[in-house]
Homo-oligomer: A and B are copies of this chain.
Amino acid sequence: MSKEQQSKKVAFLGLGVMGYPMAGHLASSGYNITVYNRTSARSEKWINEFKGNKADSPAEASQGKDIVFCCVGADPDLRQVIYGDNGALKGMNSGSIFVDHTTASAEIAKELSDEFQRHEISFLDAPVSGGQAGAENGALTIMVGGTENAFNEAHPVMDVFARNITYMGPAGYGQLTKMVNQICIAGVLQGLSEGIAFAQNAGLDGEKVLEVISKGAAQSWQMENRGHTMLKGEFNFGFAVDWMRKDLNLCLSESNNNGSRLPMSALVDQFYAHVQKRGGGRWDTSSLIDLLQNK
Contacts and interface: CB of A to CB of B under 8 A. Distances in A.
A222 B213 contact: no
Interface stretch (A8-16, A25-33, A258-266): A258-266
A195 B183 contact: yes
A221 B294 CA distance: 29
Given A198-B255, A251-B198, A129 B217 contact: yes
A61 B145 CA distance: 65
Contacts of A218: 129, 180-182, 184-185, 188, 221
Given A217-B129, A221-B218, A221-B220, A201 B264 contact: no
Interface of A: 106, 129-131, 141, 143, 163-164, 166, 168-169, 173, 176-177, 179-192, 194-199, 201-205, 208-209, 211-213, 215-223, 225, 239, 251, 254-255, 258-265, 267-268, 271, 292, 294
A267 B264 CA distance: 8
A262 B292 CA distance: 8
Given A191-B191, A220-B219, A208 B258 contact: no
A205 B169 CA distance: 8
Contacts of A129: 213, 216-218
Contacts of A211: 166
Nearest to A271: B263
A181 B213 contact: yes
Nearest to A142: B212
A216 B221 contact: yes
Give the interface centre of A131, A188, A292 by most chain B CB atoms within 10 Å: A188
Contacts of A261: 194, 197, 292
19 contacts: A130-B216, A141-B213, A168-B209, A169-B203, A176-B199, A177-B209, A177-B213, A179-B198, A181-B217, A185-B191, A188-B218, A191-B191, A194-B261, A197-B260, A203-B258, A216-B221, A219-B221, A220-B222, A264-B268
Contact of A217 (B213, B215, B222): B222
Contacts of A223: 184
Q: For the complex of A and B, list the 7 residue pairs with the smallest distance between their C-beta atoms, beginning with the closest.
A: A187-B191, A220-B220, A184-B218, A183-B195, A219-B221, A184-B195, A201-B258
